[in-house]
Structure 1
Amino acid sequence: MSLILQIALKSALNRRYTLGLVVFVIAISCALLLTVERVRQDARSSFSQSIAGTDLIIGARTSPIQLMLYSVFRIGNASNNIRWESYEAITRHPAIAWSVPISLGDSHQGFPVLGTSAAYFQHLRYGQKQALRLRAGRFFEDGADHVFGAVIGAEVAAQLNYQMGDKIVLSHGMPTQQAQKAQLTQEHDVKPFQVIGILARTGTPVDRTVHVNLQAIEALHLDWQAGAPIPQFSIAPEHVRKFDLQPQQITAALIGLKNRSAVFRVQRSVNSFADEALLAVIPGVALDELWQMLSQVEQLLLGIAALVALISFCSLIAVISASLNERRRELAILRAVGASTMYIAGLLLLESAMLSLLGLFFGIAIVDLMSLIGASHLQDHFGISLQMSLIRSSELPAIGGLLLAGLFAGLIPAWRAYRYTLSDGLSTRL
């Protein structure tokens, strides 16, 4: 038996280039299928864990998905802002326990800047309702006396190598990468901020956000008008406290209720607010709408990945079947040294299974390598935190299905080899 296996192994090595190409195709198809599934699962997990304990998100009237995306995940831009008077009127509703105002629009080296109140660190929850924690420093406080303190996320600190006490300069708006490279961004360089706190990693968009208080947002734009600095006019940082830094408008607000049973009542109250066109969305409902909207795209991507896997196993059938005519004499020699027709058929099945197994092994390695390389990019640009693991339990059915497909792919050439006879293999074909 060992002699037969040695002959079969040498036969495979003799065809190593062709079989190596088949392994490569299987590996790529496996990697594509697992990557689509892994990103899909981690995207849902990251989005659902980014906000917990918040009952409503309030913003200017737009689509619920858009409001949730820009207020929680820092994706996209607000269509309009909320007047501060409207925000105060809404928060006086007796069913509301707490509220967190949010002001967006500025950035720092590609990371979003979020203006908020000290209540943000007290009430915001993520994951399993975990509170934000500091890795170093302290949280900022409300008021004009705490204007130029910034609390940065873990990813901001890691990528920009910031430490406590470092000075940072914020930019107006969210510039594109081309604008940053061309140095076309408008910076608030007259009013630098000091890093007073670094948050512990959360795996949410908080990690890539620079947090300042609402008064800081107002102070930055005292000498700006219509989105541009006033020519030949600048207010020094030490003079900003002389001005009224009460916010005039905010981007959105996070709302927590005393009793969740009142969520629909408060939502109707906000949606029918008379003084301004506002929208209140329930985060879980908005996420469900997002996944429903993307479900067809998910199925399409999974279908394409499955089709690529099918094509790769068809190529496996084609390669093994095409090599049978060249190997008929080899198979006859195996028969001559004592191999039965069933054994030869099993040998071809084993060859198909080994090629599939090698392809799956390299495919999983490619997925893990891509996850390692692309994790930071997905986290920075889309807020998707990839969970690092060699093989996930949810991926086992897909891996098992691919391995069974490899075995099935070997059935056709194995059946053909079973039909070959010793005389057919030894006969001369012209």
Structure 2
Amino acid sequence: MIPWRLIIADWRRLWPGVVVVVILIALATALSISMSLQERALRMGSAKAADRFDLVIGAPGSETQLVLSSVFLQPSALTLIPAQVLDEVQKNPLVAWAAPVAFGDFFQGMPIVGTNAALVTEGGKRPLLAGRVFNDGFEAVVGAGTGLSVGSTFSPVHGQVGEEGAHAHAEVRYTVVGVLPADGSAWDKAILVPVNAVWRVHGIHAPGDHDDEHEHHDDEGHEHAEGDTHEHHDDSEAHHHEAGVPAIVVKPLSIAGAYQLRSLYRSTATQAVFPGEVLVKLYSILGDIRALLMYIAMGTQGLVGMAVALVAVMHLRQRQKQIGALRAFGAPRTGIFLLIWSGLMSLVFAGVAIGVGLGYVAAQAVAIIMSEKSGFVLPIALGEDDLWFVLLLLAVAAVVLTLPAVLSYRQSPAAALRGE
């Protein structure tokens, strides 16, 4: 039977050393647990956010940047591809639906994305939380996290407020006509508008939209005079800007069709990528970083182990006379062993338990910050891997701590009482 009364009494008597040891073990454990939770959450969160994007087409360049901008809505200046490519993709028999993703404008830091109804409803499979899909005017469908509701109006800002070249399109007013349900991605804080409206705001004539040229000529000229990426050109020049989009999101009819489309649009003019494949490449880099951090954590745990061993030796020296007295009164060896081993093991167990809690809390805090920046939810949850890690840690400690426990009764009771 474990002598808990003696152990607790020792804890109270030696509480400063106990607290230091527990804190050291807790911090080392928390470091490993928090890294494991964060890495897993980043994988799961990003994979879920990219799950509904099968294929993305853009201009030649960085595949990673194309995915980060089109799927996770990270601001970046991407080369435009001609609007004719969008029309060509939409007419391809291998395509269920295709939608442009045009960005550059913001409202209160939230991206305004020029697209079409197909992306809003995912080809009719995603119902709106409220309202309806936009028409071809200055109407908007907003994400659940934008704080906007049906009937809200706003004016876009070109670029982020505070950045060089940022300016408001005060003469343009969008009206919210629909709200999307939350899905835990960056799109929860996105504002979706017709791509034609984005082109008109920036003085670019939409393809096939020539009937209203004179009607909108003055407005577009005024908007263009406000300044954008082509500012300081006159009215007539505005209409000569070729309409283009940074990216096209494609929903293929089949898996085979997806590979055919990727092959078709991998050319000198365009690139086509599977976001999932790009994420796998990023995960491999993330895995290398995680391995490095795990080595650091293991080194930290090794140092903590040495500290625990030192404390164990000091603990035995302090309790030498007590152990000698117990042996002189006939205490069995197993009793002495349990007293020493259980006392030290209880410190390790307390430190590991507190460390798991600290690691979980730290991972949650980091996840909240990263979710705000990345735009997608990072699900933090303790898993089977974490359980095995904790069990392995306790098992190693249990084996290592048998040594001081065994040594504690190898010394004769007389020598122990003399303090030798």
TM over 0.5: yes
Distance (whole Å) between structure 1 residues aligned to residue 142 and residue 400 of structure 2: 54
1:7 corresponds to = 6
- Please, which runs of 5 or more residues in structure 1 have no aligned partner? 126-130, 235-242
Q: Deviations over 1:346-375 (max 9, x none)?
A: 222212321122122212222332344343
Distance (whole Å) between structure 2 residues aligned to residue 411 and residue 194 of structure 1: 72
Q: In structure 1, which of residues 184, 198, 201 is the aligned counterpart of residue 179 of structure 2?
A: 198
Do residues 357 (structure 1) and 349 (structure 2) align?
Answer: yes
Shift in Å, 1:61: 0.5
Shift in Å, 1:248: 0.9
User: What is the RMSD computed on CA atoms of the aligned residues?
Assistant: 3.1
Shift in Å, 1:109: 2.8
Distance (whole Å) between structure 1 residues aligned to residue 298 and residue 398 of structure 2: 17
Distance (whole Å) between structure 2 residues aligned to residue 371 and residue 133 of structure 1: 34
User: What secondary structure, in the 3-state scheme, does the structure 2 residue paired with 1:58 have?
Assistant: strand
Shift in alpha-carbon separation, 1:138–1:335, aligned structure 2, 3 A: farther
Shift in alpha-carbon separation, 1:107–1:318, aligned structure 2, 3 A: farther
2:133 corresponds to = 139
Shift in Å, 1:52: 3.1
Shift in Å, 1:309: 2.5
2:214 corresponds to = none
2:15 corresponds to = 16
Shift in Å, 1:207: 1.8
Does structure 2 retain, via aligned residues, the 8 Å contact 1:214–1:247? no
Q: In structure 2, which of residues 260, 263, 269 is the aligned counterpart of residue 265 of structure 1?
A: 260
Does structure 1 retain, via aligned residues, the 8 Å contact 2:56–2:273? yes
2:114 corresponds to = 115
1:412 corresponds to = 403
Q: In structure 2, which of residues 251, 254, 264 is the aligned counterpart of residue 256 of structure 1?
A: 251
2:42 corresponds to = 43
Shift in alpha-carbon separation, 1:355–1:135, aligned structure 2, 3 A: farther
Shift in alpha-carbon separation, 1:60–1:321, aligned structure 2, 3 A: same
Distance (whole Å) between structure 2 residues aligned to residue 401 and residue 124 of structure 1: 49
Shift in alpha-carbon separation, 1:49–1:16, aligned structure 2, 3 A: same
Shift in alpha-carbon separation, 1:186–1:358, aligned structure 2, 3 A: farther
TM-score using structure 1 length: 0.82
Q: Bigger shift: 85-94 or 40-49?
A: 85-94
1:151 corresponds to = 141
User: What secondary structure, in the 3-state scheme, does the structure 2 residue paired with 1:265 have?
Assistant: helix
Shift in alpha-carbon separation, 1:280–1:172, aligned structure 2, 3 A: same
1:227 corresponds to = 228
Distance (whole Å) between structure 2 residues aligned to residue 124 and residue 337 of structure 1: 83
Shift in Å, 1:404: 1.6
2:290 corresponds to = 298
Does structure 2 retain, via aligned residues, the 8 Å contact 1:314–1:409? no
Distance (whole Å) between structure 2 residues aligned to residue 366 and residue 124 of structure 1: 44
One-letter amino acid of the structure 2 residue matched with residue 68 of structure 1? V
Distance (whole Å) between structure 1 residues aligned to residue 397 and residue 324 of structure 2: 25
Shift in alpha-carbon separation, 1:188–1:357, aligned structure 2, 3 A: farther
Shift in alpha-carbon separation, 1:370–1:192, aligned structure 2, 3 A: farther
Shift in alpha-carbon separation, 1:342–1:357, aligned structure 2, 3 A: same
1:392 corresponds to = 383
One-letter amino acid of the structure 2 residue matched with residue 47 of structure 1? S
Do residues 171 (structure 1) and 171 (structure 2) align?
Answer: no
One-letter amino acid of the structure 2 residue matched with residue 106 of structure 1? D
User: What secondary structure, in the 3-state scheme, does the structure 2 residue paired with 1:30 have?
Assistant: helix
TM-score using structure 2 length: 0.84
| Equivalent residues, number | 398
User: What secondary structure, in the 3-state scheme, does the structure 2 residue paired with 1:134 have?
Assistant: coil
Shift in Å, 1:427: 0.9
- Please, which runs of 5 or more residues in structure 2 have no aligned partner? 204-222
Distance (whole Å) between structure 1 residues aligned to residue 407 and residue 108 of structure 2: 63
Distance (whole Å) between structure 1 residues aligned to residue 158 and residue 295 of structure 2: 43
What does 1:75-114 correspond to in 2, within 5 Å?
75=74, 77-114=76-113
Percentage identity across paired residues of the two chains: 24
Q: In structure 1, which of residues 372, 375, 392 is the aligned counterpart of residue 367 of structure 2?
A: 375
